[in-house]
Structure 1
Amino acid sequence: MTDLFGIKIIWSLGFILFAILIRIIIINSLKKIQTKFGFQKSRILVTNKIITILIYSTIIVLIAFLWGVDQKQLLVYISSFLTVLGIAFFAQWSILSNITAGLILFINYPVKIGDTITVLEKDNNVTGQIKDIGAFFITLKTPEKELITMPNSVILQKNIKYFPQPD
Structure 2
Amino acid sequence: MNAFNIQIIETIIILGGYIILYFIFKTVINNFLKRTRLERSRRKMAIRAVQLFSTMTAIILLTGVWGFKQNEIALFASTILTALGIAFFAQWSLLSNITSSILIFFNHPVKLGDYVKVLHKDYHYEGEVTEMNYFFVHIKTDSNKIITIPNSHFFEKSFSVSEKK
* TM-score bracket, shorter-length normalisation: 0.7 to 0.9
Equivalent residues, number:
162
Distance between the aligned counterparts of 1:143 and 1:152, measured in 2? Answer: 21
Conservation of the 8 A alpha-carbon contact between 1:92 and 1:153? no
TM-score (norm 2): 0.75
Alignment of 1:130-141 (within 5 A): 130-141=129-140
Distance 1:124 1:50, change over 3 A: closer
Partner residue, 1:23:
22
Shift of residue 16 of structure 1?
Answer: 1.5
Shift of residue 57 of structure 1?
Answer: 2.3
Shift of residue 29 of structure 1?
Answer: 0.7
Conservation of the 8 A alpha-carbon contact between 1:119 and 1:161? yes
In percent, how many aligned pairs have the same letter?
24
RMSD of aligned residue pairs (Cα, Å) = 3.1
TM-score (norm 1): 0.74
Distance between the aligned counterparts of 1:105 and 1:89, measured in 2? Answer: 21
Higher relative contact order (CA 8 A, sep 6+): 2
Shift of residue 109 of structure 1?
Answer: 4.3
Structure 1: 4+ residue segments shifted above 6 A: none
Unaligned runs of 5+ in 2: none
Alignment of 1:92-111 (within 5 A): 92-93=92-93, 96-97=94-95, 100=98, 103-104=101-102, 107-110=105-108, 111=110
Q: Which moved more, 1:81-90 or 1:118-127?
A: 81-90
Q: Which moved more, 1:22-31 or 1:146-155?
A: 146-155
Alignment of 1:35-74 (within 5 A): 35-74=34-73
Unaligned runs of 5+ in 1: none
Conservation of the 8 A alpha-carbon contact between 1:98 and 1:151? no
Distance between the aligned counterparts of 1:58 and 1:164, measured in 2? Answer: 42
SS across alignment from 1:39:
coil
> Which residue identity is paired with 1:161?
F
Alignment of 1:2-13 (within 5 A): 3-13=2-12
Shift of residue 63 of structure 1?
Answer: 0.7
